[in-house]
Structure 1
Amino acid sequence: MKSASNPPNRQGPARRSVHDMQQQGISRLFGKRRRRDVVFLTRALLLALCLIPGAAPAEALQSLESIRQKVQAYLQENHAGLGENTRVEIGRLDRRLRLAACGEPLAVSSPYGKPRSGSVTLEVSCAGPKAWRLYVPARIESYLPVLSLSRNLPRGAMLKESDLQPLRQNIAALPHGYFTDAAELVGMELRRPLRAGAVVSPGAVKAPTLVRRGQNVRLVVESGGVRISSQLEALQDGAEGELIRLKNPRSGRIVQGRVSGRDTVRIKL
């Protein structure tokens, strides 16, 4: 007698096959989405990196020291008398400057004329590839032996060589000028009193007065080959070459003549 047994389950393998296929389809579906997400995120990240400041390769910059050296070289080449008695001080450059590196030699010029002692401003420029222009301040100090007084002198004093002595000075601090050759000053007259040690400037002296007001002078009148002289009264002081007024004491007539020497005035007709 055979015992009853359960019939074989024929649907089991089929059901497992369908389940496996469903799982495999879901995996493929989500796998594709994950790949798309990864590609999208990668592209987004690359784009963000490109937009972040500083992420791109750093641009080459012109060093401030190279600009200073170029200005120094320009002053040494173009400033007359630059040497051991001259000192050049380049103005401070802003460290925040970000100037593109110049592909050509820097050009330096003086927009306000040839640089002299004192404060100057120079133009430094780059032609490319990215053009820029910069103004650099500088100061030139030149030390020279200039002439000063060896003693106190009053107004109207006639300068002698013994009245003068050399004094080393920064000529940038002498805006009114100076003398270095005593021959230019000997015989000149002081316009105002000066103390010992004072630097003699062109404005402090004048040609000596050869004719004094109220003084009788000799007037020489020249016309062709004829020369006539007479005595007239000077109505004002005069140095050589200056035009002054004269009065004829007999007629009262006023004439003008040019001082030509001590107590002498000439008129050429």
Structure 2
Amino acid sequence: MLRIVLLFVCLFAAGAPRAQTVLDPALVERVRVLAETAASATAPPNTRVAVEIGALDPRLRLAPCRQVQPYLPPGMAVWGRSRIGLRCTDGTARWNVTLPVRVAVFGRAVVASGPLPAGVSLSQDQLALADIDIAADPGAVFTDPALLIGRTLARPLAAAEAVRAPALKSRQWFAAGETVQVLAVGPGFAVAAEAQAMSAGLEGQEVRVRFESGRVASGRAVAERRVELSL
């Protein structure tokens, strides 16, 4: 009985379709176009997008498929290291996998002209412009060195490393108790009023303010003594 089972298994394995781990060149090109189109839609002007296609996991055992559809998985990043979905829509068995890709976005940005320690106050001679992959790391880059003069580094930077927003210390726009201008923004309108800050206003962070009527609201510190509320 054991010999019969082993013979059946060997015959089944010999006749089974081989795993589809090598992608058709036409499918690879469709994946490249999809990734480039998605990245270009959000890339700044005067940048260049380049896509590097990875390989399927060799441990996958995919049934042969006559029609494979590439797609962008919901919530997946379109810059940097990401994944493109592949689903079989016409085959002996339906399957759905993801393919690794790396999307580079090359553009001109501000970089450190030399090694810079944490805590340094940036000056013009410490900054330079260079063509870099702005998608290589998280965080917004800057294209105008003048916007960074006087800003303080929160962490050290290597020479030629991009100066990104997370590397900068948050600015304090106002102190608790100061009078601030509050701009309430809604669909098709904007209303300005004065209020008292209930805490220090750090750049981009939420802060509570109290209006003369006693009403308390939460907004975002956006500039010197300025708070923005979204309605």
Instruction: State TM-score, norm by structure 2.
Output: 0.52
Instruction: For 2:90, give the aligned amino acid.
Output: G
Write 1 or 2 for the structure with the bigger share of strand: 2
Tell me which of 44, 61, 72 is aligned to 2:32.
72
Equivalent position amino acid for 2:23 in 1: L
Give the secondary structure class of the aligned counterpart of 2:90: coil
State yes or no: 1:181 paired with 2:137: no
Q: Which runs of 5+ in 2 are unaligned?
A: 1-10, 181-198, 208-220, 226-231
Structure 1: 5+ residue stretches without partners: 1-51, 213-218, 222-235, 244-257, 265-269
Of 83, 88, 93, the match for 1:126: 88
Aligned identity (percent) is 21
Residue 189 of structure 2 corresponds to none
Cα offset, 1:62, TM superposition? 10
Separation in structure 1 between the aligned mates of residue 95 and residue 118 of structure 2, nearest angstrom: 57
Which residue does the alignment assign to 1:107? 69
Q: Which has the greater radius of gyration?
A: 1
TM-score normalized by the length of structure 1: 0.46
Work out which of the residue numbers 153, 164, 181 in structure 1 matches 2:127: 164
* Distance 1:84-1:155 versus aligned 2 partners, 3 A rule: closer
Aligned to 2:167: 204
CA-to-aligned-CA distance 1:186-216 (integer Å, 9 cap, x gap): 4x5204475654422212324656789xxxx
Matches within 5 A, 1:1-269: 64-66=23-25, 67-80=27-40, 81=43, 85-93=48-56, 94=58, 99-102=63-66, 104=67, 106-130=68-92, 131-150=94-113, 152=116, 155=119, 157=121, 159-161=122-124, 163-182=126-145, 184-186=147-149, 188-192=150-154, 194=156, 197-206=160-169
User: CA separation in 1, counterparts of 2:131 and 2:28?
Assistant: 29
SS at match of 2:64: coil
Letter in 2 for 1:72: R
Write out per-residue CA displacement over residues 35-61 of structure 1, whole angstroms, 9 at most, x where no aligned residue: xxxxxxxxxxxxxxxxx77999x99x8
- Cα offsets for 1:62-116 (capped at 9, x unmatched): 97224322211211222224998332111123498554332x5x32222252542
Judge conservation of contact 1:78–1:114 (CA < 8 Å) in 2. Answer: no
Deviation sequence 1:13-45 (CA, Å, 0-9, x none): xxxxxxxxxxxxxxxxxxxxxxxxxxxxxxxxx
Count of residue pairs brought into register by the alignment: 176
Aligned residues: CA RMSD: 5.0
